[in-house]
Amino acid sequence: MTHQRSDALDLAMGAVAGAIGVWVMDRVGWSMYRREDPTAFQREHEARSERRDVAHAAVKKAADLTGAPLPTREPSGAGIAVHYALGILPGALYAAARRKYPALTAGHGTLYGFGLFVLMDEITAPALGLASGPAKYPWQAHARGLVSHLVLGIVTETVLGAFRRIR
């Protein structure tokens, strides 16, 4: 297989693995949400940017910038698409990078998941105004986000490992 074709295949497999990782991450996150203290749940919703999750806040920001109509209901297809894109795009990049830098796979994807949690949830989303600063959220939101992203990393790495074995 040519190097170029191999890179393209890595990107495609990473996108699929990232999508599967998001799906599983959501199941774990929602399970934790349902068991969460109602006071913490309320504090988190009050801290959100315009009471929207990050993906739907991004859709609103894009609609405001472009003048496009904002979906009237949440969750919206656009918000779900953004949410999945936040797992698919990094998954594709992770798949391409992990072959060149095997240390990225440390902890069977937990390093990757931890990195996404810190970069996306704790730094980028607040910096872009898609979320409040980390101090505004209760510790339960951070714990759920960390666990969910670790699951995302493990699932993404597991799927990529399965793809590698059948390749």
- Separation of alpha carbons 9 and 95, rounded Å: 9
Measured distance CA(47)–CA(131) in Å, rounded:
8
For residue 165, pLDDT over 80 is answered with: no
Instruction: Give the pLDDT confidence score for residue 5 in this predicted structure.
Output: 62
Give percent above pLDDT 90 in the chain: 74
Which residues, at least 6 apart from 151, have a Cβ–Cβ distance to it below 8 Å? Answer: 21, 24, 25, 28, 113
Distance CA 70, CA 76 (A): 9
Reduced to 3 states (helix: H, G, I; strand: E, B; else coil), residue 69 is coil
pLDDT digits (tens, 9 = 90+) for 60-105: 999 999 998 888 888 899 999 999 999 999 999 999 999 889 999 9
Residue-level pLDDT at 166: 75
Mean pLDDT throughout 146-154? 98
pTM score, whole prediction: 0.90
Q: Is the pLDDT of residue 2 over 80?
A: no
